[in-house]
Amino acid sequence: MAHIDLPEGLPGILGPMAFRPETAGPLNELAEVLLRGDSTLSRGERELIASYVSRLNDCHFCHTSHGAFAARQLEGGWEVVDDVVAAPTTTDAVSPKMRALLGIAALVQRGGACVSEEAVRSAREEGASDVEIHDTVLIAAAFCMFNRYVDGLATWAPADRADYEDSAAMVTEHGYTAAAPGPA
């Protein structure tokens, strides 16, 4: 049961966003820019970073929803998402550059000061640009916030991956700003 009186039937971040729509707008705009805006990283790769960080934070709703968004946009689907969660720095499911960026994301999840020159150098050696490193750090940091927002209010989340497919279709087609719930 949620810690505050959230609208019924809205899982994860949707309940708090409906509760305070004035904060939902800016949060969805941030997600839109980070995960769907212009980038040399694909939308699927950026969703994969979000899902991975959410898994590290044990946020089931964010891991599964963004995993569904990534799976829908990556060749290999959920198999890629599962491989990254199981072995982010050694999986062959993603490029060496993505493995290095996932390593940076994991360091951000532990704490911003954990990101080392060595990790950044490794990402650069694999072809990561400064913009890609920047965006990886910001996605990881933002998802630490989103995860704590969802879990800090004790929201509920469907257990089954299939329950995330409709929202994955909607977000991948129309974006985050179209997904914003209305006022409670």
Residue 75 lies inside a defined structural domain of this protein: yes
Residue 139 has pLDDT above 90, yes or no: yes
Segment 115-133 shows an average pLDDT of: 98
As a whole number, the mean pLDDT across the chain is 96
Residue 10 lies inside a defined structural domain of this protein: no
Residue 126 lies inside a defined structural domain of this protein: yes
Q: What is the CATH number of the domain that holds 150?
A: 1.20.1290.10
Residue 82 has pLDDT above 80, yes or no: yes
Residue 115 lies inside a defined structural domain of this protein: yes
- The fraction of the chain above a pLDDT of 90, given in percent, is 95
Residue 85 has pLDDT above 70, yes or no: yes
Domain count across the chain: 1
Instruction: Determine the pLDDT at residue 180.
Output: 61
pLDDT tens digits, residue range 32-53? 999 999 999 999 999 999 999 9
Residue 8 lies inside a defined structural domain of this protein: no
Residue 2 lies inside a defined structural domain of this protein: no
Residue 184 has pLDDT above 80, yes or no: no
Q: What is the SS3 assignment for 18-31?
A: HHCHHHHHHHHHHH
Comparing 134 with 183, which gets the higher pLDDT? Answer: 134
Residue 147 lies inside a defined structural domain of this protein: yes
Instruction: Determine the pLDDT at residue 178.
Output: 83
Domain enclosing residue 83, as ranges? 16-179
Find all residues with CB under 8 Å of 179, minimum gap 6, and list them. 28, 167, 170, 171
Burial of 82 (0-12, 13-18, 19+ CB in 10 A): middle
Residue 94 lies inside a defined structural domain of this protein: yes
